[in-house]
Structure 1
Amino acid sequence: MVEYTLFPGRRVESSPEVRVAALFIEHLRYAGLYLMLFGAGLGLPVPEEVPVVLAGLLSRAEIFRWWLALPVCVVGVLSGDVVLYWLGHHWGERVLDWRPVRCVLPREREAWLLAAYRQHGVKIIFGARHVMGFRAAAFLTAGIAHIPFWKFLGVDAAAACLGLPVSFGLAYVFADRVQSVLADVHRVERWLALTAVAAVAAWLAVWAYRRGRRA
């Protein structure tokens, strides 16, 4: 953990990921915010929630204008998602031969996602947008499965417009507690990841049970 001054007069203990994101955004402003979110969507080791929270904090400090920062957040995350979709759509399953992609989307997960898309369609896209560590795999597979682009973009945008303003707004409202917000980023991520794993496990159990009854 390192100390970083996000606002003058405040010393904030934060993780290296938070420090890098904050420095990048403060120096490049809105362009930095967009690039961090775009990169996070493509697999940079910075959760996209970190730039969104920082944008909310900087908006509260009147360094950013919230009515510009929030749309930049939405466009940034959607840009990364669209690139992943088009990689899968253009290259198909050949993309699975790329070593970086195999880390995110092994063939077993791709087969499971293809089956899930056939049964549940775009509901997978909506759910994946809110699950860290699952987004990239789901969006690549949406392209491989040739989900219609405008359907993909519409559902992904709807999910982003529901989820991102919540993170942004909470950071804006509780900016006076910035130290605890940044210090607890990884703790929150762990709980969210555990919740997501539990939800996916429950969904798989229900799906297997229903499939077994039909057989």
Structure 2
Amino acid sequence: MSIETLIAQYGLAAVFLGAGLEGETMVLAGGLFAHEGMLSLPGAMIAAAAGSFVADQAFFAAGRRFRATRWVQRAQGKPAFAKALRTLERHPTGFIFAFRFLYGLRTVSPIAIGTSHVPTRTFLWINAVAACIWAVLFTSLGYVFGTGIAELLGRYRPHGRQWLWVALAALVLGLGFAGFRWWRRRRA
């Protein structure tokens, strides 16, 4: 099921869940649907902020509650987790505010913060403010650039086998990007 279909069918509930589980793409799509008049812009912003906030609080609580378990111990061995903790130690408030904007650290960061000594109340307030700013920013981007996106999608509608070529091109680009990131990490 595509993002567009999910939002068209479930509305703000899809934006809420998508903001917590998937991230920016669903929130941008929520802004686009608000631009098209299918959702209210304030509603999309609130659903995105609430979804992001709830998911990050849940991941934080999981990190706090299960920090001694094998699942979290295994996550701590991953490079993204270690990077999140190093950055958190140097700039705790800034990191809590900015992690949702950092590619590759969005999901693991609240768990890492949960394993740290950051007080729950501190995380709660910074997370709430950051979730609101993030949601307003990405929903607004989808709304503002909605005309261009809708025009682009209207101009290019592949039919039949063209979808296969589009999917293949996306796969090749994705593999190329993953290969580049692997090469860059290995070099560093």
Aligned to 1:166: 137
Q: Deviations over 1:159-192 (max 9, x none)?
A: 22223212211221221111448x9xx8xxx9xx
The one-letter code of the counterpart of 1:157 is A
Task: Look up the match of 1:127.
Answer: 98
Distance in 1 separating the partners of 2:90 and 2:130: 20
Alignment of 1:189-208 (within 5 A): none
Note if 1:96 corresponds to 2:68. no
* Correspondence for 2:108: 137
In the superposition, the TM-score normalised over structure 2's length comes to: 0.71
Q: Which residue of 1 aligns with 2:35?
A: 60
Residue 15 of structure 1 corresponds to: none
**In the alignment, structure 1 residue 106 sits paired with structure 2 residue 77:** yes
Instruction: Give the superposition deviation at 1:31.
Output: 1.4
Write the deviation string for residues 113-146 of structure 1: whole angstroms up to 9, x where unpaired. 3343333222211221211211222111110113
Say if 1:96 and 1:173 are closer, same or farther in 2 by CA, change over 3 A: same
Aligned length: 159
Other structure's SS at 1:92 match: coil
2:4 to 18, 22, 36: 22
Q: 1:149 to 1:27 in 2, by over 3 A?
A: same
TM-score under structure 1 length normalisation: 0.63
Structure 1 unaligned blocks of 5 or more: 1-18, 41-47, 202-215
Give the equivalent residue in structure 2 for 1:85.
Answer: 60
Letter in 2 for 1:72: A
Match of 1:73 among 26, 45, 48: 48
Q: Which residue of structure 1 lines up, in the alignment, with residue 17 of structure 2?
A: 35
C-alpha change, 1:111 and 1:51, in structure 2 (3 Å) is: closer
Whole-Å separation in 1 of the counterparts to 2:45 and 2:85 = 33
Give the Å deviation of 1:34.
1.3
**Alignment partners' CA distance in 2, 1:132 and 1:107:** 15
Query: Is contact 1:125–1:156 with CA below 8 Å preserved after alignment?
Result: yes
The C-alpha deviation readout for 1:75-102, integer Å capped at 9, x for no partner, is: 011111111101100011423256xxx4
2:167 is matched with none
Cα pair 1:96 1:107 within 8 Å, conserved: no
- Point out which structure has higher relative CO (alpha carbons under 8 A, 6+ apart): 2
- Tell me, which stretches of 5 or more residues in structure 2 are unaligned? 157-169
Which amino acid in 2 is paired with 1:152? F
Shift of 1:158: 1.9
Deviation of 1:108 after TM superposition, in Å, equals 4.7
The one-letter code sitting in structure 1 at the alignment partner of 2:31 is G
Q: Is the Cα contact below 8 Å between 1:129 and 1:156 reproduced in 2?
A: no
Instruction: Give the root-mean-square deviation of aligned CA atoms.
Output: 2.9
Tell me if structure 2 keeps the 8 A contact 1:53–1:168. yes
